[in-house]
Homo-oligomer: A and B are copies of this chain.
Amino acid sequence: MSEVSIQAERLLGRLSSLGAIGRGDDGRLTRLAASDADRAGRDSLVRWLEDAGLEVAIDRIGNIFGIWRPESVRDDAPVLLGSHIDTVIDAGIYDGCYGVLSGLEVIETLKSSGWRPSRPIAIAAFTNEEGVRYAPDMMGSLVHAGGLSVEEALASIGIDGTRLGEELRRIGYAGEREPGFLKPHAYLELHIEQGPVLEREGLAIGAVETLQGISWQRVTIEGVANHAGTTPMSLRHDAGHAAARVITFLREQAVAADTPSVATVGSLRFEPNAINVIPARASLTVDLRDPDEMRLREAESALASFLDELARSEGVAVSVERLARFEPVVFDRGVVDRIEQAAGRRGLPCRRMTSGAGHDAQMMARIAPSAMIFVPSIAGISHNPKEFTPDADLLAGANVLLDVVRSLTAAG
């Protein structure tokens, strides 16, 4: 089944073209959702969809669909290949775009090879996956899956004070289709790993079987500010020292667990933050992730117990605010199997793995059998101009996507 392959130049050329849209005078790439740069990127994508002879549909939240619906299978649910083309600030060219353009490449390859699919094949570019300009992230797919009303999403106020609904109208991408109009038979998302695992293990393909659950909390510790020279150690209520103990506790827990659990304190502030004053207050964020919901709950619970003990032993007040919480996602075993088999047939070394980042696929998994295909990210770098995946890996991933689509649309 591997005799057909995608056209390397066409896919790589489009990735490069799309990556050139939205660059500022300083050369930095930024296509925030519903911005002028996003409009320019969308316009290019729609032109390519039309050139490929696909039916273009845009829904009220601005999600763009390109649908190949042969006469014979007109009414069946499609195999949907999606991701996003909005970016973070100062982005690389692969995150999201690689999945959307590979989906288009797969459809064009199949069309020109004379493939007669048993059901429609479609691609989707979901609005505002990154969530940089408007909250929440993964918004277009969340609305598509029914997890957020389109009215609420359109009312989202951006970091620049704009309203998403008005910005979508302004750029000409407030469509008329009702979100969720396209119910997929299956959903596939091809994406760069954004982590170091595949490169480190020398693998070409990740068959993503789970997506980590995420728990975000803000911990605020109130101690007592005092003179750094005149306050004996035994009389201190040092909010900064208490915060440091939270950080070392989380590391020890995560390392001792010997599981895929990760824990990160990425943000920390002291007050008054002066060299000779014992910190009165420390505010830190805790990012816990685990592909297993039970373990994630245990990690949350261990932290809560530790914070109780900390408050007592340090004589500080500790308060916790929940910032975000997503349960882990388990992708469809049948689809994951097909990815692994497709990689094997192409001789590509592959492993089953967990996605540490959030993706549109986790929303689509609510309404259709879904899975993801990962390709290596050099040094695990993403959300950064240094984001890079070698061409050979990009092409390998697209060919695996092609083969999985063929297996899902082969005539019974």
Chain A residues proximal to chain B, CB less than 8 Å: 193-197, 200, 212, 214, 216, 225-235, 238, 240-241, 243-245, 247-248, 251, 254-255, 260-270, 272-279, 285, 287, 289, 323, 355-358, 380-384
7 residue pairs, one from A and one from B, having the closest CB atoms: A195-B230, A229-B356, A230-B356, A244-B247, A228-B264, A244-B244, A275-B285
Q: Is the CB of A232 within 8 A of B289?
A: no
Q: Is the CB of A231 within 8 A of B274?
A: no
Q: Is the CB of B289 within 8 A of A229?
A: yes
Q: Is the CB of A267 within 8 A of B273?
A: yes
Please name all residues of chain B whose beta carbon is closer than 8 Å to the beta carbon of A278 when the two chains form the complex. 264, 266
Q: Is the CB of A262 within 8 A of B195?
A: no
Q: Kindly report how many copies of this chain are found in the complex they form together.
A: 2
Rounded to whole angstroms, the CA-CA distance of A195 and B232 in the bound complex is: 8
Rounded to whole angstroms, the CA-CA distance of A76 and B330 in the bound complex is: 90
Please name all residues of chain B whose beta carbon is closer than 8 Å to the beta carbon of A273 when the two chains form the complex. 266-269
Q: List 24 A-B contacts (CB under 8 A).
A: A194-B227, A196-B226, A196-B230, A196-B232, A216-B275, A227-B380, A228-B262, A228-B287, A229-B356, A230-B382, A231-B380, A232-B262, A233-B263, A235-B380, A240-B247, A240-B265, A240-B268, A241-B248, A245-B248, A248-B248, A267-B270, A267-B273, A269-B273, A275-B285
Q: Is the CB of A248 within 8 A of B244?
A: yes
Given A200-B235, A268-B240, A287-B275, answer yes or no on A229-B255 (Cβ-Cβ < 8 Å).
no
Q: Is the CB of A235 within 8 A of B267?
A: no
Q: Is the CB of A323 within 8 A of B275?
A: yes
Please name all residues of chain B whose beta carbon is closer than 8 Å to the beta carbon of A355 when the two chains form the complex. 229-230
Please name all residues of chain B whose beta carbon is closer than 8 Å to the beta carbon of A244 when the two chains form the complex. 243-245, 247-248, 265
Q: Is the CB of A212 within 8 A of B196?
A: no
What residue in chain B is nearest A323 (Cβ atoms)? Answer: B275
Rounded to whole angstroms, the CA-CA distance of A358 and B230 in the bound complex is: 10
Please name all residues of chain B whose beta carbon is closer than 8 Å to the beta carbon of A232 when the two chains form the complex. 195-197, 260, 262
Q: Is the CB of A356 within 8 A of B231?
A: yes
What residue in chain B is nearest A248 (Cβ atoms)? Answer: B244
Q: Out of B225, B231, B267, B268, name the residue touching A196 (CB < 8 Å).
A: B231
Q: Is the CB of B267 within 8 A of A357?
A: no
Q: Is the CB of B231 within 8 A of A262?
A: yes
Please name all residues of chain B whose beta carbon is closer than 8 Å to the beta carbon of A197 when the two chains form the complex. 230, 232
A328 to chain B, nearest CB (A): 12
A324 to chain B, nearest CB (A): 9
Given known contacts A227-B382, A244-B265, what 9 new A-B pairs fall within 8 Å (CB)?
A195-B229, A195-B232, A232-B262, A235-B380, A240-B247, A240-B268, A241-B265, A266-B273, A268-B273
